[in-house]
Amino acid sequence: MTDTTIAKNIYTADEKAKYDACCKRLLAEKVILAWIMKSCLWEYADCDVNEIAEKYIEEKPQIGEIPVAPDERENTPMIQGTGVEDTTMTEGTVTFDIRFTAAVPSVHQEPGGSGEEKIGLILNVEAQNQFYPGYPLIKRGIYYCCRMVSSQYGTVFTDSHYEKIKKVYSIWICTDPPGYRENTINRYVMSEDSLVGQIQEPQQNYDLLAALMICLGDTKKENCQGILRLLSVLLSSEIKAAEKKEILEKEYHIEMKRKFGEEVSQMCNLSEGLEQRAAQRVLQGLQQGIAQGSQQANLNSIKNLMDTMNWTVKEAMDALKIKEEERSLYVELLKDKKSD
């Protein structure tokens, strides 16, 4: 028995959900996050990738698993690995792909600090297929930043202790941007603009949010280098798993541990499965279209012969050599045409 359309769609959606989940798990690998941080965040530009992964990134980045409701946690202590679902009774729900916290290297710590505060940043990483989902994507990135700042009340600080607010980053990885945006990285930050006088506020007092757009592209182009090439290779649906592992190991010195290697292979397999099912659906649609077109052509021919030759239905179908098992269908269709 052939699956109904809804059954096929449910199966495909399930596979797509598995592919998306696998993509998020790959991006949540500490070594991948470390490469993103070193390449795009000025706080880690001088750090070694392994140092970032082992020393500064929190133990376990959260991947769409733990809900955190600010309305229900007003008097709780600070939570490390802040939740991926940010909910308030008045503003609705925002779900983050990946959220994690990281310590700022000591060279960038605020002067006069106690040195006991390890967590300095809250970071969010999003994988996005659609570059134009009906609104400017960067506005959503800035909105996510604002939510991450406001949700710190009750977890990072209480009362009027705004000095404890942590800087937030929302990093968007666009896997299918328009051509003119391919292989580009843009950062959107808060900055000071002195209108009258030359007074300068310490940067750490206003540099509290930044959104980044990482637009991937063709790995064969010259400008696809560094973090752009790493992510383009990692998330490619065209490059085979074995080639991905080789590139990541040789060019980026990423050890293909068993779990990470299996994730890469699984994503490639899921990607191939999605492509095959998409091709099958296109082929089925073409076949159905051809069948329906042929059916309509036969129906028109039968009617024309009946009208011009004054033949019966049976005589017209005999002349056209219509299969016996299909004749009752055409009889019904002719009846429907007459009733119309």
Residue of higher predicted confidence among 156 and 237: 156
CA 65 to chain centre: 16
Question: Residue 60: which pLDDT band, with cuts at 50, 70 and 90?
Answer: confident
Evaluate whether residue 281 is within a structural domain: no
In a domain, 151, yes or no: yes
Whether 327 shows a pLDDT value over 50: the answer reads yes
Provide the mean pLDDT of the chain.
Answer: 79
**Predicted local confidence at residue 340, as pLDDT:** 60
More confident residue, 313 or 68: 313
The model's confidence at residue 4, banded by pLDDT at 50, 70 and 90, is: very low
CA distance 4 to 163: 58
Do 217 and 94 belong together in one domain?
A: yes
Angstrom distance (rounded) from CA 186 to CA 212: 6
172 SS3 class: strand
Same domain, 207 and 334: no
Q: Which helix (H) or strand (E) holds 127?
A: strand 121-128
- Tell whether 232 and 314 lie within a shared domain: no
Q: Report the pLDDT value the prediction gives residue 13, as an integer from 0 to 100.
A: 43
Q: Say whether both 304 and 162 belong to one domain.
A: no
How far is residue 245's CA from residue 266's CA, in Å, rounded to a whole number? 12
Q: Looking at the structure, tell me whether residues 232 and 306 fall in a common domain.
A: no
How far apart (Å, rounded) are the C-alpha atoms in residues 237 and 20?
Answer: 12
Whether residue 173 lies inside any domain: the answer is yes
Of 1-5, 44-48, 228-232, where does mean pLDDT reach its minimum?
1-5
Residue 30 within a domain:
yes
Same domain, 309 and 232: no
DSSP string, 179-247: GGGTTEEEEEE-----SSS-----GGGT--EEEEEEE---TTSTT--HHHHHHHHHT-SSS-HHHHHHH
Pairing of strands 167-174, 98-102: unpaired
Nearest partner of 151 among 122, 125, 189, judged by Cα: 122
Report if residue 96 sits inside a domain. Answer: yes
User: Do residues 152 and 26 both lie within one domain?
Assistant: yes
pLDDT at 279 over 60: no
**Domain annotation covers residue 289:** no
Do 58 and 167 lie in a common domain?
yes
Per-residue pLDDT averaged across 61-87, rounded? 49
* Tokens standing for residue 244: 């991905």
Phi and psi torsions of 219, nearest 5°: -70, -15
How many other CB atoms are there within 10 angstroms of residue 168's CB atom? 23
80 is in which domain, residue-wise?
A: 5-109+116-192+201-236
Distance CA(76)–CA(228), nearest Å, equals 39
> DSSP readout, 90-115?
TTEEEE-SEEEEEPPPGGGSPTT--S
What is the spatial distance between Cα 333 and Cα 18, in angstroms, rounded to a whole number?
Answer: 44
- The residue among 184 and 61 whose pLDDT is bigger is 184
Number of structural domains, the chain? 2
User: pLDDT (tens digit, 9 = 90+) per residue, 7-56?
Assistant: 443 344 455 656 777 788 888 889 999 999 999 999 999 999 999 999 99
Indicate if 47 and 149 belong to the same structural domain. Answer: yes
Question: Is 275 within a domain?
Answer: no
Pairing of strands 209-215, 184-189: antiparallel
- Strand, helix or coil for residue 167: strand
Q: Is residue 284 part of a domain?
A: no
On whether the CB atoms of residues 165 and 159 are closer than 8 A, the answer is: no
Same domain as 303, residue 228 = no
CA atoms 42, 117, 161, 202: torsion sign = negative
Q: Does residue 86 surpass a pLDDT of 80?
A: no
Note the pTM of the prediction, 2 decimals.
Answer: 0.69
174 plus 323 within the same structural domain: no
Same-domain status, 64 and 205: yes
